[in-house]
């Protein structure tokens, strides 16, 4: 009996925890945060052509994002505009990591607002995953074409940020599509009701300034330090 309990706990340690975040007007978004160690880039290149391509694109894009966030006070208007664009792109890409986390997980926990029934929470989750599967497959094709076309910018001095970005998008959309498909067809889901998400949903109609302190407090209670920024981007 104790061995079975330990096995269950070990399996749950590897589980993916996904939050069904209410963002206003009956809308929900799936959200998760990776552990800190997962955000550090691996030092060795993986095996396989596509994995190496993804690794190299990730490395170049990560360097471009770091440079953009640090900024260049001596840079001109073009440099500042490019840095701002890269930072916004990085935020959008980061939101795909919830789907990436589902790619290999056979078990996942869906944390949903406590005023939502388990059946309704599961239905909302499935709608989001089905939409994501279609969306990312479509954009995978579009971005692959743009990536090929971006090769023309190799003649421009400096790093080809456009090519790095679209290479990372191609890999990102592929991973997101795989994660959505896994979540629909293969993942075993557990449900857990969370009262704090109910209050979070009630704040969606307020302005970011009016709700800021409470959203930050809820995020801290849930141990999700980036939730506040995600909520501000997605809430009505």
Instruction: Name all contacts of 220-224 with Cβ < 8 Å and 24+ positions apart.
Output: 221/196, 222/19, 222/194, 222/196, 224/19, 224/31, 224/33
Q: What is the pLDDT of residue 163?
A: 74
Beta strands in 82-170 (DSSP E): 107-113
Q: Radius of gyration (Cα) for the chain, nearest Å?
A: 20
Nearest to 58 by CA among 184, 172, 195, 174: 172
What DSSP designation does 27 have? E
Per the CB < 8 A criterion, the answer to whether 16 and 106 are in contact is no
Q: How far apart are CA 59 and CA 160, in angstroms?
A: 13
Domain ranges of the chain: 49-109+132-192
Q: What is the pLDDT of residue 5?
A: 37
Helix (H) or strand (E) holding 25: none
The pTM of this model reads 0.73
Q: How far apart are CA 165 and CA 64, in angstroms?
A: 9
Mean pLDDT of successive 10-residue stretches along the chain, which has 236 residues: 37 74 95 64 61 71 76 73 75 78 90 97 97 94 84 52 75 90 96 98 95 96 92 87
């Amino acid at each position: 009996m104790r061995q079975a309990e330990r096995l269950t706990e070990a399996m749950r340690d590897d589980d993916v925890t996904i939050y069904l975040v209410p963002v206003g007007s009956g809308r929900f978004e799936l959200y998760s945060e990776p552990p800190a160690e997962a955000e550090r880039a691996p030092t060795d290149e993986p095996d396989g052509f596509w994995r190496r391509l993804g690794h190299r694109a990730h490395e170049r894009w990560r360097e471009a994002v770091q440079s953009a966030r640090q900024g260049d006070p001596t840079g001109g208007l073009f440099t500042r505009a490019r840095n701002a664009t890269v930072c916004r792109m990085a935020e959008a890409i980061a939101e795909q990591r919830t789907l990436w986390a589902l790619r290999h997980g056979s078990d996942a926990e869906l944390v949903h607002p406590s005023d939502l029934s388990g059946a309704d929470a599961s239905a909302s989750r499935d709608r989001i995953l089905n939409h994501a599967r279609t969306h990312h497959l479509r954009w995978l094709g579009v971005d692959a074409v743009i990536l090929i076309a971006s090769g023309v910018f190799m003649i421009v001095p400096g790093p080809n940020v456009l090519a790095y970005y679209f290479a990372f998008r191609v890999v990102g959309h592929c991973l997101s599509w795989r994660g959505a498909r896994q979540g629909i067809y293969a993942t075993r889901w557990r449900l857990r009701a969370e009262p704090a998400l109910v209050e979070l949903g009630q704040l969606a109609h307020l302005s970011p300034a009016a709700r800021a302190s409470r959203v930050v407090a809820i995020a801290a209670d849930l141990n999700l330090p980036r939730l506040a920024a995600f909520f501000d981007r997605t809430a009505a």
